[in-house]
Amino acid sequence: MAKSRVLLVDDNLDIRKGVRPLFDSHPKFEVCGEAAHGGEAVEKAPSLRPDLIILDLVMPVMNGLEAAPLLIKILPKVWIILFTSHHLSEVERLSRAAGIHAVVPKHKGATHLIAQAEALFAQKASLCKKAS
C-alpha cells in the first residue's frame, strides 16, 4: 500500500526538523516536502500532490488560515491539520471556517499530531467502505 504524502508548513525550521522524522519513520506516511510559509505551500502543493498538509497558524507572507482555502481549491481531497501554539476556541472556529479538518496544539507534541493524522485517514477509509 502506498504511503500518504505529507507537506509540512511551518516557519520554524526546528519544528519541521522535529516533526519530519516522526512522519518519515511511520509506516503509513512520508514527507513529500516542506514550506516555510503558506505562500510557499500554495506554490509547491500542485507538484508535490500531498494527501495531508500540516500547517502552522502564524507565519510570514501567508498564515495557515489564509493558505488553507487556497490549498483546498488546488487539492480538494487534501486533509489539513493546523499545528499551532495558539489554542483558543476562536482559532478552532476560524480553522473550521477555512476548511481545516483538525487543530492540534503544539504543546501536546508531535505524537499527538501523528495520532490525529492516523484518525483522519481512518475516518476516510471508513467513509470509503460505507460508500462501496
CB-neighbour burial class of residue 83 (10 A; exposed 0-12, middle 13-18, buried 19+):
buried
Say whether pLDDT at 72 is over 70. yes
Cβ-proximal residues to 108 (8 Å cutoff; 6+ apart), any chain: none
Quote the CA–CA distance of 35 and 88 in Å, as a whole number.
25
Structural domain spans, the chain = 4-131
For the residues 55-80, what does the mean pLDDT come to? Answer: 96
pLDDT beyond 70 at 130: no
pLDDT at 131 over 50: no
Task: Give me the architecture of the 4-131 domain, per CATH.
Answer: 3-Layer(aba) Sandwich (3.40)
The model's pLDDT over 11-30, given as tens digits with 9 standing for 90+, comes to 999 999 999 999 999 999 99
Above 60 in pLDDT, residue 119?
Answer: yes
And the C-alpha cell for 93?
A: 472556529
Q: What is the pLDDT of residue 2?
A: 86
